[in-house]
Amino acid sequence: MLAELEQLKARAFSELDVIDNLKHLEEWRLRYLGRKGSLTLVLRGLSGLPLEERRVVGAAANEIKAALEAGLKQKQDSLKEQSLAVALQKSRIDVTLPGYPVNVGRFHPTTQTIREVCAVFASMGFQVIEGPEVEWDYYNFEALNIPRDHPARDMWATLWVEAPEGENPMLLRTHTSPMQIRLMEKTRPPVRAVIPGKTYRYEATDATHESMFYQIEGLAVDRGITMGDLKGTLFEFARRVFGEERRARFRCDYFPFVEPGVEMAIDCWVCRGKGCRLCGNTGWIEILGAGMVHPQVLRRVDYDPDVYSGFAFGVGVERIPMLRYGIEDIRLFYGNDLRFLKQF
Amino acid sequence: MKVSLNWLRDYVDLAQPVKELADRLTMSGNEVKGVEIVGQTWDNIVVGQIAAVEPHPNADRLTLVTVDLGMERSTVVCGAPNVRVGDKVPFAKVGAYLIDGHTGERVQLKAAKIRGIVSEGMACSEKELGISDSHEGLMILPAEAPVGVPLADYLGDAVLDMDITPNRPDCLSVIGIAREVAALTRKEARVPAVHYDEEGPPIEQKVSVEIVDADLCRRYCASLIEGVKIGDSPPWIQQRLLACGMRPINNVVDITNYVMLEYGQPLHAFDFGQIGGGKIIVRRASEGERITSLDGVDRTLTSDMLVIADSVIPVAIAGVMGGADSEVIGITRSILLESANFNPASIRRTSMNLKLRSEASLRFERGISPELTLRALRRATQLILELGGGTAARGVIDVYPGRRDPRRIQFPLWQVKRLLGIEMKMDQVSEILGSLGFECRPQGPSEVEVTVPYWRVDVSEAADLVEELARIVGYDYIPTTTMSGPLPGPQFDPQVTVREKLREFMVGCGFQEVISYSLVSLERLAVAGPVKEALRVANPLSREQEYLRTSLWPSLLAVLGSNQRHEEGGIRLFEIGKAYLRRGDDLPEEREVLGGVVSGPRSGVSWLGPQGWLDFFDIKGVVDALLDRLGIEADFRPVEKETLHPGRAAEVVVGDEVIGLMGEVHPRLVESLDLLPQTVAIFELEIPKLASRAGLGRGYRPLSRFPESDRDIAVVVDTEVPAKKVMDIIKGFPLVTRVTLFDVYTGAQIPPGKKSLAFRVVYQSTTHTLTDEEIQGLERDIVARLSQETGAVLRSR
Ligand SMILES: [Zn+2]
């Protein structure tokens, strides 16, 4: 009997060895371990044996059963492993194929620049506010110390808006500076704000001139604000926007609503000051106009110029990406050619 | 303004190289845009003197000219008509570069055999040297020109091309620039000493001047020179005028221009013989009065324009241009020289209205000092006597109704610290201001009374003086500091917050942001916005940019059109901008709107297959999600608009208010705008209305611990019944947490005029696990309500 069992075990294992799929494995299991399987029959036949023999054979049969079950388990695992490997092999792909097209939206480069610049000033405690694009002559010129028939008006070729004849003509603001007046009219110092927005000029367009463009105005008024503070603020802006190693300089310039007035330039990063095409051979690139708020402007909004002082500046927005990326035609910005816009 | 350094040297010593000088001027506020070096290319050209002239043996029209070059002589063949023994001429040796008189190209001079005679070198015309266009004859140099000296040393020059800001009319003059240079380089500026004999009769016997409109004429000075011989002005005047970009005309006119450039005071010379009655009247023109100006144009004047008239007619448009009738010409013998000062605003208005901007009007409109008139008048009179001969009448006319005392400014030194952040001592302040011509009288240790020199019309208060100090010491001198004061209170603009959220949302949805012109053509405007509410620009640059847009649609459709031909995949654009809507006589409403447009294939060409075409439901999806993001519940009401597909257009409504519009663009409009013949879907939402409602629909609901059950329910309704109405009814039931429309069907098994809507409904309770019985009960209630309110019939489960 024991010999029979040993034979059975040997046969079972030799059969198991060659099984290579789950179907045959199941047949094998039924053949040996199923309800009518050989081993099950052996165990069932034990009851007819003498007690002593029954014990010996029983133990041997149980041992074999455990061995077969272990073999079955092992085989099952290995077959599963194999079939997974086959499935994986079959589902290999060319990983270089393009994926499903995703629609990527982008901000207009002007938006990106405004956000960046305003964030720089916001971090220095400046509020970000906005104002109207259609303006009164009063805010755009008169209150900014640019009376009618003043030659300085030539600095801002103006698009006038058709409106009933009146003392105060309507126009498209030529700069964001009118917001200096509007802001100071409705608040008291301390004032610290930047004002981004669209501005307009009566100007034939070419690579460097647009009839519509964006500016960011800055204004800070309080007791004790000096040109040193203006330098500190704007030099910091220049470094944050154009690079840590940039040097900046002021030179005297004229804007009717500031006194003293300055224009700020940064050193040319292409030639490092030696002179090149970008900087017009001067080594310096002009980026903005600024100055100390003119006492006449302060008086106009009832700020006492002997008590309060402040500075103002105006930056052309498009000029920043133009310089940064070497864009040579400002008309690309509002021409909205997607081949241009998608590069930013 | 162009400034010749040779000329500048007459008034100030120039010690530094041109580049440094240009930099100093630029940094201190008078920008030098460029420097032109005259004579830079004059190697091998020297001053020669004609020693002998003989006929050419083989040619009638040529001569053999022997030129003395100091150490040597050279005989060359010459074709010029004006060779005269003794004259000094520029002489180019072999190897020099000259401009070819005929072709205008720069060529190197070689030895040449001309009609059998070898010629090594040549005497030059102005054109050949690049000085002017004159090529009629040799350039004749002044008699004092040193023979043998390189021409560049004698005639070379550097010309500064300067950008003078409108506040500095004094710098529209060589003397003005000399004063600046003197202050910047710690030198003295020299002003010409003027003296001449007045040998004629007293001027009052010949001339009278009356200022009728003194509000427009602050001062009028005149001198009279009789017996003048009109001719060419000498080379040195011509050269300086040419260097400054002015054309020489005759000696008298050239002198008026020369002195204008020198002093900054415009002058006008009248042919006194043409001044009726010897009388000058400064008065407003009568309406419609006419004058032919020096440029030959017949002009009609208006009554706000100032003229210089004789006893009968206007002889000049004051401060703008003289009249042709009294122009100084060859036969003129007597000169009435005018040096006056006119109201700047009036001159500016007149010259703008006449579209006639002259060198004179440019200076007058900037408000030059009336103190200049007499100085410039005497200088010009002297030059006319010297260069044109004649006799000056005794005395000058000087009518000066606008006389003002010199301006005095009390200047406490703390103003320097206050504006610049640096201390300056009395000595330093007095020295700098003194170098600029300001007189400083200390008033105690820390205050100074400053008298402004007459030419500095731009300086009127302490801040102006601070600028003078800053620009002379240089802005580098000012330290860089950080503001330390209190910050303004926080500001919060919900509209800006919502707007920026929308901008990010749209980019997240795969839309490209565009920014387009606020001004559009009337045709474009009419595409979408209301035309009646649009504002028009009075002086548009072009018809394309004439009206302020009342909607973003015209712009978005234009941008779509201009990109369609080169974009491969679908186009999704959005813009956040303003619509400008007339508001009576007040400034317009500038309403911020969000607009978007889509068109083309939903996905780019891909091996993964096409995804269909962009249409109404693409923008509907975006608008749905956007409203959900802002927590706004909106309705979509079918609407008919001329621009939109009649069956595919909706108003976006919240409560009773329309907050936006969306739809597919009418195929007729697609065609007329020349867009590709495919679906274009577009929307526009008003940002203020979104902002005022944003966040209202938000609310936290605790997550339920009990499972959800989902069931499908399909109903058949009339085609006209909006899906949203059905959906809203289902959503309104308690325990319904989500409703998704997953199928809309018409066709077989559905009667005509009906449609089937299939929803997945999710039920959940926060208190217990729902039983099948509960859910079935709910479903029965839902169907009953739908049937009652929409006539729906249950189709299947
Ligand atoms: Zn450079």
Q: Which amino acid is at A276?
A: C
Q: Which helix (H) or strand (E) holds B209?
A: strand B208-211
Residue B65: φ, ψ to 5° = -115, 130
pLDDT of amino acid B600: 95
Helix B723-731 to helix B772-790 angle (10° resolution) is 140
Indicate if A175 belongs to the active site. Answer: yes
| C-alpha B356, offset from chain centre | 19
Burial of A13: CB neighbours in 10 Å, binned 0-12, 13-18, 19+: middle
Q: What is the pLDDT of residues A128-178, one digit of tens each?
A: 999 999 999 999 999 999 999 888 888 899 999 998 777 789 999 999 999
Torsion from C-alpha of B170, B173, B175, B178, nearest 10 degrees: 90
Window 522-561 of B, Cβ < 8 Å to A: 535-541, 545, 548, 559
Burial of B484: CB neighbours in 10 Å, binned 0-12, 13-18, 19+: exposed
Q: With helix as H, strand as E and coil as C, how does B146-191 read?
A: CCCCEHHHHHCEEEEEEECCCCCHHHCCHHHHHHHHHHHHCCCCCC
Ranges of chain B with pLDDT below 70:
529, 696-699, 796-797
Nearest CA in chain A to B414: A306
A94 CB within 8 Å of a chain B CB: no
Ligand 1 center–CA A283 separation, angstroms: 5
Q: Which amino acid is at B755?
A: K
Contact B467 A135 (CB under 8 A): no
Q: Which helix (H) or strand (E) holds B76?
A: strand B73-78
pLDDT of amino acid B696: 58
pLDDT of amino acid B504: 96
Query: Quick count: other Cβ atoms within 10 Å of Cβ B267?
Result: 27
Which of A191, A248, A258, A301 is the catalytic position? Answer: A258
pLDDT of amino acid B797: 45
Window 321-380 of B, Cβ < 8 Å to A: 344-346, 348-349, 365-367
Contact assessment for residue A98 and residue A165, using Cβ atoms and an 8 Å cutoff: no
d(CA B475, CA B192): 33
d(CA B692, CA B630): 10
Instruction: Look at residue B139 and give its three-state secondary structure.
Output: coil
pLDDT of amino acid B224: 96
Å between B344 CA and nearest CA of chain A: 8
Comparing CB atoms, the residue among B346, B485, B572 nearest residue A190 is: B485
Q: What is the pLDDT of residues B565-613, one digit of tens each?
A: 998 889 999 999 999 999 988 999 999 999 999 999 998 888 888 889 9
- Pairs across A and B, CB distance < 8 A: 253
What average pLDDT is seen over chain B?
92
Contact A233 B348 (CB under 8 A): no
Indicate if A7 belongs to the active site. Answer: no
d(CA B44, CA B91): 8
Quick one: which of B717, B733, B726, B718 has its CA closest to B780? B733
Instruction: Look at residue B781 and give its three-state secondary structure.
Output: helix
Half-sphere exposure (CA, 13 Å, Cβ side) for A193?
24
User: Residue holding tokens 């371990």?
Assistant: A33
Indicate if A258 belongs to the active site. Answer: yes
Beta strands in B446-585 (DSSP E): 447-451, 512-513, 519-520, 547-548, 571-583
Window 174-203 of A, Cβ < 8 Å to B: 187, 190-193, 198, 200, 202-203
Contact A102 B510 (CB under 8 A): yes
Q: Give A-chain residues touching B493 at CB under 8 angstroms.
A: 129-130
Å between A66 CA and nearest CA of chain B: 43
Whole-complex ipTM? 0.87
d(CA B51, CA B84): 9
Comparing CB atoms, the residue among A101, A228, A338 nearest residue B420 is: A228
Ligand 1 center–CA A206 separation, angstroms: 22
Would you give the DSSP letter of residue A144? G
pLDDT of amino acid B141: 86
Q: Which amino acid is at B628?
A: D
Nearest CA in chain B to A106: B512
Nearest CA in chain A to B20: A282
Residue with the bigger pLDDT between B576 and A35: it is: B576
Quick one: which of B55, B69, B230, B254 has its CA closest to B148? B69
d(CA A258, CA A262): 9
d(CA A91, CA A67): 36
DSSP B756-770: EEEEEEEE--SSSPP
d(CA B155, CA B197): 32
Beta bridge partners of A213: A199
Arithmetic mean of pLDDT, A20-49:
85
Comparing CB atoms, the residue among A134, A151, A259 nearest residue B464 is: A259
Contact assessment for residue B670 and residue B564, using Cβ atoms and an 8 Å cutoff: no
Beta bridge partners of A221: A191, A310
Quick one: which of A252, A173, A265 has its CA closest to A215? A173
